[in-house]
Amino acid sequence: MYRKKLVSTLAVAATLGMLLSSCANQAGTGTSSDTAASGSKVNVPALTKIDTPPNAVLPKGDGKATCPATTTLAYAGAETGPNAQLGINIFNGVQLAINEHNAANAGCQVQFKKFDTEGDPSKATGPVTQVTTEASIIGVIGLPFSGESKATGNIFEQSKLVHITPAATNPGLTTNGWTTFFRGLGNDAVQGPAAAKFMTGKLAAKKVYVVQDDSDYGIGLGKTTSDGLGSALAGTDKVTTGQKDFSAVISKIINAKADAVFYSGYYAEGAPFDQQLVGKGFTGTFVGPDGLKDDQFIKQAGDSSNNAYFTCPCIPGELIPSFESAYKSLNNAEPGTYSIEGYDAATVLLSGIDAGKQSRADLLSWVKSYDKDGLSKHYKWDDKGELQAPTVYGYKVENGKIVPVGAIGE
């Protein structure tokens, strides 16, 4: 029932978006809503409402849980580093879930520990090893990024410690034979084709230039997006983590006469890239995936971000009033990318603890057989740790904020 309501709501929004885009694309309008081919951003209307499942599992449970005082969940991932905000969004969501659980369950006060990886694969193994050696930690939310997830998966596997990533999307992560890794959102094999369809459909792009960074995430998503574009692919290029000057690739984009650019990477490089792109005269649409979808992108790109759209296999948590209000009260900020996925991932583990699954082995078994609604989506994993029915959403920059425009790729 929930999915039918959600699809119905988003279908109406998508239809409206196509109608408005069609009007905007008429020749001779001379407005800021002309097509990307004429050098301006297409106007796709914002989504204003989503339906949440009526029987979603919430962190508070029935309020009757009991557990040892040492029972601990952990977050492992970026707290500092160039793309830290994406990790901060997650552990803020986790903290909210644990706060709500503990307020309702006097007999089960779950502890919460955070371990900073800086989002760096070369630095993540130390903190993750520390996580696995602390016997009181029976479940983990993280890691946010694909590279660090790849570097640490075997450490979790050796300790049989369940971990749910609310953010890492490289498809190869579930092909390593790990039994402790679970992905709380769709992977890039889903997001890439959806992004391609979004750009050539709703955004009316005719020639898309794909640029990827050198991370596992950027490489994987760059390929699936390029493959999905088919004849609309105008060219591809690569940049490196930490790169500051993008003039060489920008020259290629302009020479290719691309009307849209897809940047497969994170906001630390994506923001200055977009800024330099606009500064060199590019007037088309700039599209980035979930690694760019954060207010930090707008802050760093400045007014150049007005040309930006995003794709993300994450739900707009700000459109769920109860979650948005509680999150803002705790963090004095709106929910960010992956905030609600972090909240839901924590809830899956908390519900297991409340059901008496209070060892690593029991909590791992709980997640393997989990089949319930969360606030953001239905959580049921296959034998590789992939969700069975993920949805990808589109977002845009509007009035200095990132706002959702509805489901894409369906």
Cβ-contact 1, 12 below 8 angstroms: no
For residues 306 and 323, membership in a common domain is answered with: no
Residue 293 and residue 164 share a domain: no
Confidence category of residue 20, pLDDT binned at 50, 70, 90: very low
Residue 382 domain flag = no
45 inside domain: no
Report pTM: 0.86
Q: Are residues 84 and 172 in the same domain?
A: yes
Residue 254: predicted pLDDT:
97
Q: How many H helices and E strands in the chain?
A: 12, 14
pLDDT at position 15, please? 38
Q: What does the pLDDT read at residue 52? A: 83
Distance CA 168, CA 181 (A): 11
Both 222 and 346 in one domain: the answer is no
Angle between helix axes 267-279 and 247-255 (nearest 10 degrees) is: 60
User: Does residue 3 register a pLDDT over 80?
Assistant: no
Q: Which amino acid is at 256?
A: A
Q: Is residue 33 part of a domain?
A: no
Distance in angstroms (rounded) separating the CA atoms of residues 201 and 222 = 19
Mark out the alpha helices in 230-294 (DSSP H runs): 247-255, 267-279
> 324 and 300 in one domain?
no
Domain extent for 349: 72-187+319-376
Half-sphere exposure of residue 170, counting CA atoms within 13 Å on the CB side?
23
- The pLDDT of 353-370, averaged and rounded, is 98
Identify the CA nearest to 67 among candidates 162, 171, 155, 138: 138
Average pLDDT over residues 383-406: 93
Neighbours of 107 (CB within 10 A): 9
Residues 109, 243: one domain? no
Residue 65: inside a domain, yes or no? no
pLDDT of residue 42: 75
Residue 59: inside a domain: no
Per-residue pLDDT reduced to its tens digit, 272-324: 999 999 999 999 999 999 999 999 999 999 999 999 999 999 999 999 999 99
* Residues 156 and 195 reside in one and the same domain: no
Taking the CA atoms of 269, 204, 225 and 400 in sequence, report the sign of the dihedral they define.
positive
Q: Are residues 265 and 294 in the same domain?
A: yes
Examine residue 54 and state whether it is found in any structural domain, yes or no. Answer: no
Do 194 and 269 fall into the same domain? yes
Strand locations in 78-162 (E): 111-116, 137-142
Whether residues 211 and 223 share a domain: the answer is: yes
Q: What is the pLDDT of residues 117-140, one digit of tens each?
A: 999 999 999 999 999 999 999 999
**pLDDT tens digits, 47-105:** 998 888 889 999 999 999 999 999 999 999 999 999 999 999 999 999 999 999 999 99
What are 145-197's pLDDT values in tens digits? Answer: 999 999 999 999 999 999 999 999 999 999 999 999 999 999 999 999 999 99
Mind listing the pLDDT tens digit for each residue in 346-361? 999 999 999 999 999 9
- Reading the block at residue 297, the tokens are 């992108």
Q: Which of 4-18, 66-80, 232-246 is the least confident region?
A: 4-18
Q: Tell whether 31 is covered by a domain.
A: no
**The token pair that represents 218 in the structure block:** 């950027």
Whichever domain contains 289, its CATH number is 3.40.50.2300
- How many domains is the chain built from? 3
Answer yes or no: is 55 within a domain.
no
The answer on 305 and 336 residing in a single domain is no
350 and 265 part of one domain: no
Is the peptide bond preceding residue 349 cis, with omega within 30 degrees of 0?
A: no
pLDDT band at 41 (very low <50, low <70, confident <90, very high): low
Residue 166's pLDDT is 97
Q: Is the pLDDT of residue 29 over 70?
A: no
